[in-house]
Each structure stands twice: as structure tokens, then as C-alpha cells.
Amino acid sequence: MYPLRRNRRLRTSEAIRSLVRETAITPNDFIAPLFMVEGKNKKEEIASMPNYFRFSLDLLEKEVKELWSLGIKSVLLFVKVPDNLKDNAGTEALNNDGLMQRTIRTVKNAVPEMLVMTDVALDPYSAYGHDGVIAHGKVINDDTTAILAEMGLSHAKAGADILAPSDMMDGRIFEMRSLLEDEGYHETGIMSYSAKYASAFYGPFRDALDSAPVDAENIPKDKKTYQMDPANREEAVKETLMDIEEGADIIMVKPGLCYLDIVRDLRNVVNIPIAVYQVSGEYAMIKAAAEKGWLDHDAVVLEQLTAIKRAGASMIASYFAKDAVKLIS
């Protein structure tokens, strides 16, 4: 008598469902992004990222200790640079006593075991809001990679464990790796944003750091000459394999949810860890819908993070890291 096979048997109770569950998210999966700002006693909520904050250095220790106590063992650092320190050459990015460098030292002092990852890109430091040096209306690749390598070295000197270049210039992993090797920083790792798309989901992040491309004559109005076209799939494999050849230890797909096909493609061809960045716009959408009572916040957060892991992510950079870890514990 048909059916002999009834798939619902394996769904009859939470006990059997948990026994056959293929994917689990754990605190080990998360990288928590942190936004830093100059000043004292500042914990500023980012308007387009409810319940996410920019911290001043004096409040960082408490936050990092809390993350560690929740089981989150890595952070990804970003800084909001004061306007008067921005220029077209990333000068402040190389300041060994800049906000990023001080932040790295502060995290390492607060929790020495915390894995410190740092954003390496010029946009927060750029007077034009671009990830590279601008000349004649263009983002100049090789001038930029030379600066990025020096910037990475300065983070390594301050104590960063892993450099995370998010700029999408050609050859930057090679430049960065070579300089680290020359200077003896053999253990400093590189997590390359290897398949980073020119996405409209970065809007809230650019609010957080005041880093959007400026609207001015002879300044590219978007990042489409360096970030990838969302229509492209094969190209993500090419980009990623090149970054691995150049020395990347971890590769990344960004954003998350719209690009899970890319994550799976890469999982099938690369044999190094894949990070996925669930970006600011993804965070903002869930928060906004939940505020309106249109979606169940906690359930949607866990569903999306599980989907990212199921697609093939080895780790997830997410503004929901704290929420998720509290929900699953």
C-alpha cells in the first residue's frame, strides 16, 4: 500500500527534528562588526540601524567583554573618521595612532584572546567617499593598493590578527600579503572581500560611517567600476580564485541573502573558509518590518542566518550576532 515512505515521520516532534537537522548556528560562527567614533562616553544609535551603535573608545572595553562572555570570539572593526581628517590619499589611514589603531590596541587590552579583524579600505578616510584614490574622474587602482598595503601593515603593527580588505581593487591581496611577509608579519591573516557586489544594501552602513560617495563633478557617483555587477555569477569564482592565489586565508561573499547561490558555487570549488557578510541593509529591512509588526523579528533573524550557513558559509559577519547568540543559548 502506498505510501511506504512518509517524509513527515521525521518531523513529528522537536526531538526527531533536532536529530535530523542538517545545519546549526552556534556562537562560533559569528563575527561582530563594531563601529567606532572619536570622543568620550559616546554610544550613538545609527538612525537607519535601530539598536546598533557607534562607540567611543572608553565604552569599547565593556562591549567587547560582553561579546566575549556571550561566546563571540571575533570582531570586525570600522571607524568613523572626522571630516577634517579626510583627504584623497588616505593619510589618516596610515596614522599609527589613528582611531582604528587605538581601537585595535583597546580591544586587545580588554580581551587579549579576542580575534581582531580590521576593515582595510579608504572610503571612511576619503574626502570623496570612495575606496580608492581619485584622479581625472577615476578610481586609480595601483596607487590605491600601495596605500592599502601600508594601511594593513599599520593595523598589523597595532595588533590586528586578520586584515579584511573590502575595497575590490585588483591585486590588493598580493600587495598586502607581500608587504606583511617582507616586514615579518607572517601570522597576520587576510580575509578578502573577494566577491563583493555593487549593492544598494550598503546604504545604512554609509550612514553609520558617513562614507557615501559625494555628489560632485568628476567624482564617480557609485562604486560600479570596482565592486561587482549583481548580475554576475561566474565572475565571483574568478575573483575569488585570484584572491586565493594572491594569498587570502579566508574569502568572502557580500551581501548575504541575495547572493547565496554564489556562496554555494564557491563552496563547491574552494577549499578555504568562506565568510558571508549579512550587510546593513539586510539588518535594516528586518528591523523595519519587525517594528511595524509585519514580521517576527527573532524567527526571521534565525531563519536568515541558518540559510546563510546552509548555503555554505563557514562564518557570518552580522549585526545580529549578539541577538542570535542570545536566542540560541
Residue type, 158: A
With respect to ligand PBG, which residue has the nearer C-beta, 206 or 310?
206
With respect to ligand PBG, which residue has the nearer C-beta, 42 or 206?
206
**206 interacts with ligand PBG by CB under 6 A:** yes
Q: Show the CA angle centred on residue 120, arms to residues 174 and 162, nearest 5°.
A: 75
With respect to ligand PBG, which residue has the nearer C-beta, 45 or 182?
45
Q: Which residue is listed with cell 517594528?
A: 291
- Least separation in angstroms between CB 76 and ligand PBG: 9
Q: Which of 205, 226, 259, 320 binds ligand PBG (CB under 6 A)?
A: 205
Residues 106-145 close enough to bind ligand PBG by CB under 6 A: 119, 121, 123, 131
**161 interacts with ligand PBG by CB under 6 A:** no
- Least separation in angstroms between CB 15 and ligand PBG: 38
Cα(140)–Cα(212) distance, rounded to whole angstroms?
18
x/- letters, 267..286, toward ligand PBG (CB under 6 A): ------------xx------
Cα(93)–Cα(105) distance, rounded to whole angstroms?
15
CA distances to 31, 121, 147, 150, 288 from 99, in Å: 20, 14, 17, 16, 31
Read off the C-alpha cell for 84: 577634517
- Least separation in angstroms between CB 273 and ligand PBG: 19
- Least separation in angstroms between CB 14 and ligand PBG: 34
**166 interacts with ligand PBG by CB under 6 A:** yes
With respect to ligand PBG, which residue has the nearer C-beta, 121 or 275?
121
- The residues assigned a catalytic role are 196, 254
DSSP alpha helices (H): ranges in the chain? 14-20, 60-70, 99-110, 141-158, 172-182, 203-209, 234-245, 260-269, 280-291, 297-311, 321-328
- Least separation in angstroms between CB 92 and ligand PBG: 15
Q: Which residue is listed with cell 579566508?
A: 250
- Least separation in angstroms between CB 119 and ligand PBG: 6
Bridge partners, 318 (sequence order) = 278
With respect to ligand PBG, which residue has the nearer C-beta, 59 or 121?
121
Could you tell me if 34 and 63 are in contact, meaning their C-beta atoms sit under 8 angstroms apart? yes
**80 interacts with ligand PBG by CB under 6 A:** no
CB neighbourhood size of 260 (10 A): 19
| Closest to 146 (Cα-Cα) out of 80, 93, 223 | 93
**239 interacts with ligand PBG by CB under 6 A:** no
Cα(193)–Cα(211) distance, rounded to whole angstroms?
18
State the residues that interact with ligand PBG by CB under 6 A: 119, 121, 123, 131, 166-167, 202, 205-206, 223, 279-280
